[in-house]
Structure 1
Amino acid sequence: MNKAKKAKSGWVKTRKLFNDIHLWGGLISGIIVFVVCLTGTIYVYNTELREAALSSYYKVEKEGKKLPVDSLLSMVRPMISGKVTGIRIPFDETASYGVLYTKKKAGGEDGPSGIGSRDRERVAGEVVPKTSSTPAKAGSRGKGKDGEAHHQEGSASTGGEHKAPQGGGRRRSNQMMVNPYTGEALGDPAEEKTKTADFMQTMFGLHRWLLLNEIEGPIIEGIENRKLGSWITGTATLLFLLGVLTGLVIWFPNKIRSWKNGLKVKWSASWKRVNHDLHNTLGLYTWIFLFLMAVTGPFWSFEWYREGWQKAWGTHQSQQIEKGQKSEPLSRYTTGSSPMDIQETIAAVNVILPYDGDITINFPKDSVGTLSITKNRVGFFAPSASDKLVLDQYSGDVLEKDLFREKSIRNRIGSSIKALHIGDVYGPFTKLLYFISCLVATSLPVTGVLIWLNKMKKSRKEK
């Protein structure tokens, strides 16, 4: 009996310690967490809201058969002021195509070098490899709108952008939207300003920096306002993570028969009991999503956290350099070789990746360059991670492939940091779950403070 009493007494003390950590961590970070979670809830559907505001660019009427992609590109190319670098081909029959291009620099020069810049590397019909960086791979529709490491807003364009996961130097492409049935050029959505884009920009600024980046002049001498805001939100997120972990411990009841009470809301009880149940029950049901949001959030606030995460999951730059000590793949050019057209490229990709999905093709830079392909599955419960291919532009042979399903669990997690944070893991399904979970997270600081106030009132009455 004494052992049982000691065990119970020990659990009570442990539970009180976790409860105190949960309480004070929540009170300190409550307002910041409320703002971050509220803006995060809205930002879950950033891409969808932006495209809805510019639906005339992204949606078309289905009119018979689509034009051949090569013919379509020939029709649109004269309307584009810049160098065409690729094309995005959605699976959706009512979606417009996106022709990727880089605008001309001052003086009328295009961005990348032109055809034939590496012809000198050919010797007797063979290509002498040389060490270089891997060709840039385009993002897919709705992916990669963000210029900085997390999801810093860039242009209003959604999709077709070349960027490094941690804000590397890949070129950001514009895209001319095209009606695949008529060949009509619909325009570049990046040139269009909307109130929705401005609103989402504000939501992002609040979520990421509490809008401190909008203040001119440093608030604290020697610290950039953007960095200060990032540190504040990052610290609040760490406290929220602590609250999520301690909350799970606090939820566990002393007796097994009391579990049912922790799994439901007693709506017929007083408002105090309903508020308490909402805090406990909703927090439990969304726990795993709250944990994923909280554990990934500080990645974009603290260098030490980002470096630790990357090293833990094998995505640190030093680890990638060790893995990638190899020459850039090049197409085998021989005299008279004719590159594949776009339709042939699509057919080759669908043989290698035989599933329904959106395809983005980056064209070769020159006569020995390669085709860089990205394909994303479509569907309500489709994994959002891209499969990537590098093909010989003449034969269609696979020179490199990066298939998500073939990666280890460690590499999948390490390369999915942003998807895990914003819910873009299994398409619309996980986005909906994250949207609901974000709403719950927004309510937790409110219900938690009410619980604390009620306990304070009760304590005063007892005294």
Structure 2
Amino acid sequence: MKKVFRKIHLWLSVPFGLLITLICFSGAMLVFETEVMELCRRGLYYVEKVGPAPLPMDKVVEKVSATLPDSVSVTGITASSDPERAWQVNLSKPRRASIYVDQYTGVIKGKYERAPFFMTMFRLHRWLLDSMRPDGGIFWGKMIVGTATLMFVFVLISGIIIWWPRTKKALKNSLKIVANKGGRRFWYDLHVAGGMYTLILLLVMALTGLTWSFSWYRIGFYKVFGVETTQSGGRPGGENHERKPFPSFANWQKVYEGLKELNPDYKQISISKGSATVSFNRLGNRRAADRYTFNPRTGEITGITLYKDADASGKIRGWIFSVHVGSWGGLATRILSFLAALVGASLPLTGYYLWVRRLVRKSGRKANVQLKKAA
């Protein structure tokens, strides 16, 4: 049986190994993107001086709107519980555009732009730097990444079957990396022990990542958790991109103050036309949020959907993302995911080394046999 799985492991690893390395490495680079960007561009994300009180949201919107062309409007504001963090103001276009504003002075600090390095890593991780076809043609990059990730699942499973030890003593030895018994032994130990230590995390990241690659897999994955998928109807509050008269923002401050009072332990509050979300700095689903609707004319809260009361379809997408990037358990699980992804990137490379070395040695033995026969 192990011979069969050894063949499966080898002949899936050889063609897809380099792709797996690129996917894992680029994924590792994205784990701490936010922290790196906030460190490198602190002046964008944080205010210079904390004032006695932020400006009312309608005043902030007014200042921002005065700088925008007629075709662009403000669609929402996100305020953090950290008084040093600048407010993020979302714009109607381009897609997902936003700027950061000093809420104490109304000064625009700058536009959010993903750093070229992280944009490259993201496109490499998701699509191998490919782009979606405007004519709806085959998205080859996305398909190749999905296929390589699916093959990675079989490689991991076959690998653990091949190298799983029969005794506790053998298991203990297989988890050691010996560096003083030659290069081949070191790389072998690194390949086997690295795979064993990171198996669960790599499998989890691969299985969740596949939901972004194949619709058939996503539907089946959701059904496992009893969730029926539906087509997204767009993000709340972002469907109308026409410039609205300034008074339409007049009650955002009232809603903001009311939500702060209701949720003293909030992480951030996001408000848009007629809707608001409150998120918390808790472990688990990092995209979990309580949702509110309000009357834009009066600022009166008209509806509340608490995260704990939401159905599974409203939770699973956030859980998939949180588990995939390792953020569900805070800093500790993110560090583990980062290290696991780096080890995952190294596994095909150590595997190639061992495979090529074995081929060379096998070829050498055949050559020696032929020389002896000739002699």
Q: Return closer, same or farther for 1:66/1:264 CA change in 2, 3 Å cut-off.
A: farther
**1:357 aligns to 2:267 (yes or no):** yes
**1:30 aligns to 2:36 (yes or no):** no
User: 1:99 touches 1:177 (CA, 8 Å); kept in 2?
Assistant: yes
2:287 equivalent among 380, 385, 389: 385
**Equivalent residue runs for 1:420-431 within 5 Å:** 420-431=323-334
**1:198 aligns to 2:110 (yes or no):** no
Q: Return closer, same or farther for 1:373/1:311 CA change in 2, 3 Å cut-off.
A: same
**1:45 aligns to 2:35 (yes or no):** no
Distance 1:237 1:257 in 2: 33
Distance 1:408 1:283 in 2: 36
Counterpart secondary structure, 1:286: helix
Q: Return closer, same or farther for 1:243/1:362 CA change in 2, 3 Å cut-off.
A: same
> Paired residue for 1:434?
337
1:373 equivalent among 267, 276, 282: 276
Letter of the 1:387 partner, please give it.
Answer: A
User: 2:277 touches 2:292 (CA, 8 Å); kept in 1?
Assistant: no
> Paired residue for 2:225?
313
Alpha-carbon deviation of 1:459? 4.0
Alpha-carbon deviation of 1:299? 2.4
1:235 equivalent among 129, 147, 150: 147
TM-score by length of 1: 0.65
Q: Return closer, same or farther for 1:228/1:339 CA change in 2, 3 Å cut-off.
A: closer
Alpha-carbon deviation of 1:445? 0.4
Q: Return closer, same or farther for 1:341/1:413 CA change in 2, 3 Å cut-off.
A: closer
2:84 equivalent among 77, 83, 94: 94
User: 2:288 touches 2:315 (CA, 8 Å); kept in 1?
Assistant: no
Distance 2:157 2:311 in 1: 27
TM-score by length of 2: 0.78
RMSD of aligned Cα (Å): 3.5
* 1:377-400 CA distance string (max 9 Å, x none): 337x67512213123344754613
Counterpart secondary structure, 2:185: helix
**Equivalent residue runs for 1:423-462 within 5 Å:** 423-460=326-363
> Paired residue for 2:109?
186
Q: Return closer, same or farther for 1:415/1:71 CA change in 2, 3 Å cut-off.
A: closer
**Equivalent residue runs for 1:76-115 within 5 Å:** 76-81=63-68, 82-102=72-92
User: 1:72 touches 1:180 (CA, 8 Å); kept in 2?
Assistant: no
Distance 2:324 2:216 in 1: 18
Distance 1:25 1:280 in 2: 17
**1:176 aligns to 2:121 (yes or no):** no
> Paired residue for 1:246?
158
**Higher deviation after alignment, 251-260 or 310-319:** 310-319
Distance 1:359 1:288 in 2: 35
User: 1:313 touches 1:410 (CA, 8 Å); kept in 2?
Assistant: no
User: 2:229 touches 2:313 (CA, 8 Å); kept in 1?
Assistant: no
Percent identical residues: 30
Unaligned runs of 5+ in 1: 1-13, 104-154, 156-171, 191-195, 322-337, 365-371
Alpha-carbon deviation of 1:441? 0.7
Counterpart secondary structure, 1:88: strand
Q: Return closer, same or farther for 1:71/1:340 CA change in 2, 3 Å cut-off.
A: closer
Letter of the 1:418 partner, please give it.
Answer: F
**Higher deviation after alignment, 441-450 or 240-249:** 240-249
**1:401 aligns to 2:305 (yes or no):** yes
Q: Return closer, same or farther for 1:455/1:87 CA change in 2, 3 Å cut-off.
A: same
Alpha-carbon deviation of 1:314? 4.1
Distance 2:309 2:365 in 1: 62
Aligned residues: 347
User: 1:384 touches 1:426 (CA, 8 Å); kept in 2?
Assistant: no
Alpha-carbon deviation of 1:401? 0.7
Alpha-carbon deviation of 1:354? 4.2
Unaligned runs of 5+ in 2: 234-247, 367-375
Letter of the 2:272 partner, please give it.
Answer: N
Alpha-carbon deviation of 1:274? 1.3
> Paired residue for 2:236?
none
